[in-house]
Amino acid sequence: MKTLISYFRPAALLMALPAVLAFSACSKDDEPVAPAPDQAKVLVVHAAAGANLKIQALANTTDLGQLEYGTNTNYSTINAGNNTFKINVVNGGQTVATQDVLLAKDKSYSVFAYTTGTAAVALNAFEDDLAAPAAGTAKIRIVHMGQNAPSPVKLSQQTINGATDLAGVSAAFGSASAFAAIPTGTYNLLVTTGPASTTVVTVGDGNGNPTANKTYEAGKIYTVLVRGILGNINPALQPKAVIIQNN
């Protein structure tokens, strides 16, 4: 015998079903979503002439690439915060340098592997000011990783009256200058030292040709890297000034 309860029970179930489904959907939607980690960008440079081997660069467990001496990676996006950078020799996996670097959110950095006076491999990181240069200008800095070369060094321009220094563009060994603005144009810049601005190396075209000129374009950002070992008999490892374009 069917009763009113018999009729109402299926109807009640059907009426309750949308509410159950809605509650289930809401429960899934209300689950907290983990926020995306803060990010930073990093570029790695192999300037360790005293360790003229192929290396692998790591930030924590992130592989940033393999590098021959004199080369650099592009910028990689990694998590901000404390990162342990490691330089491993590709052939054998030996770790030759380790450095903790605190990366700030939305900032960019260049990390240089270089050799010290004891020929040990060291790491140093510098924040890269990638804010756009003013109209009609470029930005430039110098990074000094030239083992046994004079220190500090600075950037100068050759003129008919001799070398004219770029104000504020000077760095001691193992360090970097701040970026400075220069007018757009074609120059053959010099890396110099001392009050007399004695030439250490010539920048030239920034690719190893010291007699050529380099056109510095509006809106571009450049790093002049001094690398190599003064007095080394291998021409490939002697001091050079090379240009890294940061943007």
Q: What is the DSSP letter of 176?
A: B
According to the model, what pLDDT value does residue 117 have?
79
According to the model, what pLDDT value does residue 25 have?
53
Which residues partner with 66 through β-bridges? 56
As assigned by CATH, the class of the 37-128 domain is mainly beta
| More confident: 32 or 233 | 233
According to the model, what pLDDT value does residue 26 have?
54
For the segment 133-187, what is each residue's pLDDT rounded down to a tens digit? 999 999 999 999 999 999 999 999 988 888 899 999 999 999 999 999 999 999 9
Residue 227 in this model has a pLDDT that exceeds 90: yes
Q: Which of 91-125 are b and which e, b meaning 16 or more Cβ less than 10 Å from the residue's Cβ? A: eeeeebbeeebebeeebbbbbbbbbeeeeebbbbb
For the segment 54-112, what is each residue's pLDDT rounded down to a tens digit? 999 999 999 999 999 999 999 999 999 999 999 999 998 899 999 999 999 999 999 99
For the segment 35-64, what is each residue's pLDDT rounded down to a tens digit? 888 999 999 999 999 988 999 999 999 999
pLDDT-derived band at 31 (thresholds 50, 70, 90) equals confident
Q: How far apart are the first and last CA of the chain?
A: 84
- Say if CB 222 and CB 213 are below 8 A apart: no
- Say if CB 230 and CB 238 are below 8 A apart: yes
Q: Which tokens in the block code for residue 151?
A: 């220190």
The mean-pLDDT minimum among 108-112, 113-117, 219-223 falls in 113-117
191 closest CA partner among 236, 138, 246, 152? 152
Cβ-based neighbours of 7, under 8 Å, separated by 6 or more? none
Sign of the C-alpha dihedral, residues 34, 105, 78, 76? positive
According to the model, what pLDDT value does residue 3 have?
44
CATH number of 131-247: 2.60.40
For the segment 6-23, what is each residue's pLDDT rounded down to a tens digit? 444 554 444 554 554 454
pTM of the shown model: 0.85
